[in-house]
Amino acid sequence: MKATACVQREAGGREVRLEDLTSFRTGGRPRHYARPRTCEGLRAALRLCSKRGLPVHTMGGGTNLLVDDGELPFAVVHVCAPGLCWIRRTGPCSVRVGAGVRMSRLLSYCARAGLGGMEFMAGIPGTVGGALAGNAGAWGGSIGDPLARLWLVDLRGRLDERPAEGVRFSYRNCSLGEGIIAEAEFMLQPCAPRQVAERMKEYATWKARSHPLSRPSAGCIFKNPPGSEPAGRLLDLCGLKGTRVGGAQVSALHANFICNMAQASSVDVMSLIQVMQSAVRTRFGVELEMEIKHWPSQPVAA
């Protein structure tokens, strides 16, 4: 079968290009693109990819990704259809959600329902599934903290329930093995709705002031290195703010952000990432590790 023969086309007959689905605005055409409508559809999509021997990447909000341009040798399963975006109260303080729910929508629900414990996530874009997969967080809190359990679909399409204690979360990392998060349940605390909303507003306001949110980006590029100054500070001290490769530029506001200023290619972004790593290595002897996920078009040499 030719590579393009199994690309699922959008309703208008248009090929799916990941640059239209990622906040960084990079990314080419995957071999196969599926947007399952339900959890059963998700299982079917994974069974199909497994049968075809296609590697699978999962996309939530596409907000923490650098995807290469051109033909991509993998399938993308996009968890965002309405059937995977529900929110259900399961107890006085517990909420169960489909993995495709936007973080912002879940936070609005919590504020209205008077449920506290997740306010620190305010201003973090993307979906609940994506946030869990990368253990996203801010202000010392991470999405793994209030998690009670999750449901994972493995690559053969089997549904597996995992209590939070069975998931290994660490700084910006979640070890689940292979599979896709389909649902999650959070345990929160009762709190006055106005207080919850005010705390969220404070966090979101701080983020809007210190992060370059008006340009396409993928959030912080690097993890904060252990036992050292934060990545943003090291990069700033190297004088990298404003450094540009093609259409990609280190933000003038926060040195751990790269902004797509003018149709940057994935190669522009990757070259700039290497410039940043090299500057910090030379000046401070610190190896910066990427926080964003990279989906390469070529297998990466071990």
Question: How far is the C-alpha of 96 from the C-alpha of 113, rounded, in Å?
Answer: 13
Question: How far is the C-alpha of 278 from the C-alpha of 294, rounded, in Å?
Answer: 18
The verdict on 22 binding ligand EPU (CB under 6 A) reads no
Cβ proximity to ligand EPU: between 203 and 295 the closer is 203
> In the annotation, is 259 catalytic?
no
Cβ proximity to ligand EPU: between 3 and 252 the closer is 252
Task: Please identify which of the residues 85, 93, 220, 238 carries the catalytic annotation.
Answer: 220
Question: How far is the C-alpha of 290 from the C-alpha of 86, rounded, in Å?
Answer: 31
Pairing between strand 71-78 and 29-34? parallel
What is the nearest approach in angstroms of ligand EPU to the Cβ of residue 173? Answer: 11
Residues 24-83 that bind ligand EPU (CB under 6 A): none
Question: How far is the C-alpha of 13 from the C-alpha of 155, rounded, in Å?
Answer: 28
Per CB under 6 A, the segment of 49-57, 150-158, 189-197, 227-235 that binds ligand EPU is: 227-235
What is the nearest approach in angstroms of ligand EPU to the Cβ of residue 257? Answer: 7
Per CB under 6 A, the segment of 3-11, 13-21, 151-159, 216-224 that binds ligand EPU is: 216-224
Instruction: Confirm if 26 and 19 have CB atoms less than 8 A apart.
Output: yes
> In the annotation, is 198 catalytic?
no
The verdict on 230 binding ligand EPU (CB under 6 A) reads yes
Q: Give the C-alpha distances (Å, rounded to integers) separating 48 from 6, 43, 150, 258, 291.
A: 11, 9, 23, 36, 30
Per CB under 6 A, the segment of 49-57, 108-116, 250-258, 269-277 that binds ligand EPU is: 250-258
What angle, rounded to 10 degrees, do the helices at 193-210 and 103-113 form?
150
Which has the closest alpha carbon to 232: 259, 205, 208, 250?
A: 250
The verdict on 277 binding ligand EPU (CB under 6 A) reads no
The verdict on 224 binding ligand EPU (CB under 6 A) reads yes
What is the nearest approach in angstroms of ligand EPU to the Cβ of residue 64? Answer: 7
Cβ proximity to ligand EPU: between 6 and 290 the closer is 290
Burial letters 43-52, b for 16+ CB under 10 A, else e: bebbebbeee
Which has the closest alpha carbon to 91: 190, 200, 159, 197?
A: 190
Task: Give Dmax (Cα) for the chain.
Answer: 58
Cβ proximity to ligand EPU: between 162 and 223 the closer is 223
What is the nearest approach in angstroms of ligand EPU to the Cβ of residue 9? Answer: 32
The verdict on 142 binding ligand EPU (CB under 6 A) reads no
By CB under 6 A, name the one of 210, 263, 278, 282 that touches ligand EPU: 210
> In the annotation, is 149 catalytic?
no
Q: Give the C-alpha distances (Å, rounded to integers) separating 98 from 84, 86, 87, 92, 212.
A: 5, 5, 7, 19, 29
Task: Give catalytic residue positions.
Answer: 172, 220, 291
Name the residues that contact ligand EPU, by CB under 6 A.
138-139, 207, 210, 219-220, 223-224, 230-233, 236, 254-256, 291
